[in-house]
Every structure is written in C-alpha cells, then in structure tokens.
C-alpha cells in the first residue's frame, strides 16, 4: 500500500498498519505507540507539518476527520518535545536507541493462528511443537513486516540469515523454523515454495559429561530433599528435564526397579532403570512430604516447571567446585556415558534413553574414557 491514512479521533490520531515498511514503523514510533489489539499506531497529540515530513517522507497520506481548531505538537510516547521542551531534544543516538526498543507489530493474524493450531491438533502434535510452530510463523511475518500471503522463498532465506547473523541461533533452531514454516505453507495455505530451502547442517558438538566424583559432589552438596531427588533421578535414570518434572508416584515400580516414562519425546512410552539408592530415597520422600501424585509438585498445583528444574541444577553446580560448562541435560549424557564405560551394550542404552536411531546413541563412544573401553593409542605401543 503506497498511501497512508490518518484518522483523527478526539485527542489522538490512529494510523492503521498493513504492509508498510520498517522505516515508516520506526518513524511512527518516535511520536506514538503501537496498539496491538487494533493493528495501528496511536499518536496521542496532534503533530505539525515538519513532523509529518519526518514520518512519511515522500509517501502520500490522507487525513480523515481532521480538526484544525486546536493543534498540538506530538511527543515520543505522549511526551511533548520541540518548542514545548526547549533544551530537551533527543540526540540521534538516543532516539535510535528508543525507537529500536519498540518491537515490530504482529501481523500474523488470529485467523491464520487458529487455522495453523487446528491443523496441528488434528495431527496430534505435542503442545510444545504447536507453540514453536506458531511462534516461528508469527516471528517470520513480524520480522519482515509481511502478511503470510506475501511471504516468498526469498523471504524465508532472509529470515534464516537474520537468525544466524543477528540472533546467532544454533542450526537446530533454524531447522525447527524451517519445519514450522514448511508445515504452515504446505498444509494450511497449500503453497509449496519451501521445498527449495536447504537445511543448515547440524552442529556436531560433544555433550558435556561429569565424572563419577563430580556427580557425587553435586548430589551430596544439595541439602534440599526435593532438589536432590530431582538431580538423582535425572542422572540415575537418564531422564530429559521434561520427563523428570512430570514423573508421578504411580510411574515408580519398586518391585521391578523401573520407571515408566509416559508420553516421552515422539509420544512414546518407555521403561528405564530405577537405582536402589533412588528407590529408597523416593519411599522416604513420599512418606515425609505426603506425595500422592506428582513427585515434584509446583506452586500452582501442577508439577514443577522445566525452568525451575534448570535453576535447581544451576544453583547446585554453583555450590560445587565443578568448572565444566554443563546443564541439567548433561546428567542424561553422563548416565549414558557411564553405562557405556561399565560395559553395557549400546543397543540397551539406546532403549533406556528412548533414541529412535542408534546413531544418536553412538556419539557417547566419542566421550567415554578410552582406558575403560580398552582402547590404546598406537604411540603407547612403540618402543624407545
């Protein structure tokens, strides 16, 4: 749209935003605020001719319902400036900083959001995947300031370049964005322009792993019983953080010494190990704290959140002398590595971890101690 419209309503001016460029958006941000519910900018005070020229540059505009009787100078977020605030004009750097803090408007409409959500639910995608797919499609339109109908293959490339060059996101995040956009345009809008987009190669980084002494230090330094059990199960059973926080008392089989992981990644149930030490701790923990359902109840009546569990691990690490770059997911890596070093068959480890491919499990052979695996460097066999 080449023509902008200004609607005069009492003491404010509204400027609807459709497919305007980012430059116009940022100039409008100097004199008003974004009304997300109505998809328009609101200018609280009347603006003068010079400010019109700053905002619209060479773009033609139409004024609807203008009243010339009581003009007033517009201000940034409602603050008057210029002649009404002598000596208080923002510098170019300060104005640029202020404008850049205003997020671009959300133009991925509620109609397309509901259509995408319905299509995902009809295929029984997980709630986490649904949230991610909606987010990336909305973010694509917001960043490029284009409606879903106007997005092209080149736009997707620009968005992925932004994710890499500006956000410095991992290839896994970029691949998730491609999957989200591809699903929406192929299955909801029935447009096939995403097939030509190559996926970035996955980062092949080795996972962080703790030694047995470091695991002991981590657990023994944690004095909160709830937190200690959470860390203990994440390590001793090789659980993802999303799996450990959703454990229920009924998932624990003391007789068979197993844990049932219900609805894990890929909506697959699986059984994994229950250590004797963890079983004894769970029995005492449930009696002492009256646990009936969730093993790790949260404050809102449900289970502990993933972010809270991550904070538990981060604080526990701070109370140790461990300097490694690790996360709570490293306890799962450590579980697999220690099993491999103990001589456990790698296919059994694959089953315990719930990996669909053996190649995923095989990466632990790269970090297991070579002395335990009886691998010797040829240099050690040479004679002086």
Q: Which residues are known catalytic residues?
A: 240, 265, 329, 332, 355, 364
H helices of the chain, where? 22-28, 49-56, 92-100, 110-122, 127-144, 153-165, 171-187, 212-221, 225-236, 241-244, 276-289, 306-318, 330-341, 346-353, 358-362
Quote the CA–CA distance of 39 and 15 in Å, as a whole number: 9
Query: Which residues sit opposite 35 in a β-bridge?
Result: 40
Q: Give the full edge-to-edge strand order of the sheet including 33-35.
A: 33-35, 40-43, 12-16, 4-9, 61-64
DSSP category for residue 124: T
CB of 326 within 8 A of CB of 341? Answer: no
Q: What is the CA radius of gyration of the chain?
A: 29
DSSP annotation of 108 reads S
Residue 328 sits at the vertex; the CA angle it makes with 327 and 334, to the nearest 5 degrees, is: 90
């Amino acid at each position: 749209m080449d023509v902008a419209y200004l609607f005069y309503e009492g003491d404010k001016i509204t400027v609807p935003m459709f497919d305007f460029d980012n430059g116009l958006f940022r100039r409008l941000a100097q004199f008003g605020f974004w009304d997300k519910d109505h998809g328009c900018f609101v200018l609280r005070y009347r603006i003068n001719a010079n400010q019109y020229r700053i905002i619209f540059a060479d773009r033609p505009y139409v004024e609807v319902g203008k009243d010339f009787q009581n003009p007033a100078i517009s201000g940034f977020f409602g603050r008057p400036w210029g002649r009404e605030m002598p000596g208080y004009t923002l510098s170019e750097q300060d104005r640029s900083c202020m404008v850049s803090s205003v997020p671009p408007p959300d133009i991925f409409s509620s109609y397309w959001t509901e259509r995408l959500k319905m299509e995902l639910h009809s295929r029984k995608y997980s709630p986490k995947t649904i949230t991610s797919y909606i987010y990336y499609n909305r973010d694509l339109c917001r960043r490029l300031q284009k409606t879903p109908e106007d997005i092209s293959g080149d736009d997707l490339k620009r968005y992925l370049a932004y994710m890499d060059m500006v956000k410095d996101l991992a290839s896994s995040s970029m691949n998730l964005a491609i999957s989200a956009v591809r699903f929406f345009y192929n299955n909801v809008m029935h447009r096939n322009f995403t097939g030509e987009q190559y996926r970035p190669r996955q980062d092949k980084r080795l996972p962080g792993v703790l030694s047995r002494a470091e695991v002991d230090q981590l657990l023994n330094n944690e004095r909160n019983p709830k937190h200690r059990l959470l860390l203990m199960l994440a390590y001793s059973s090789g659980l993802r953080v999303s799996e450990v926080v959703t454990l229920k008392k009924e998932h624990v089989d003391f007789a068979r010494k197993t844990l049932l992981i219900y609805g894990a990644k890929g909506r697959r149930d699986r059984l994994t190990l229950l250590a004797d030490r963890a079983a004894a701790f769970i029995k005492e923990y449930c009696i002492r704290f009256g646990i009936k359902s969730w093993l790790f109840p949260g404050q809102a009546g449900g289970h502990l959140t993933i972010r809270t569990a991550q904070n538990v691990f981060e604080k526990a690490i701070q109370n140790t002398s461990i300097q490694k770059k690790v996360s709570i997911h490293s306890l799962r890596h450590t579980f697999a590595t220690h099993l491999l070093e103990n001589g456990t068959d790698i296919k059994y480890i694959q089953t315990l971890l719930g990996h669909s491919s053996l190649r995923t499990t095989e990466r632990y052979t790269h970090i297991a101690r070579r002395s335990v695996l009886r691998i010797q460097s040829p240099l050690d066999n040479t004679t002086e």
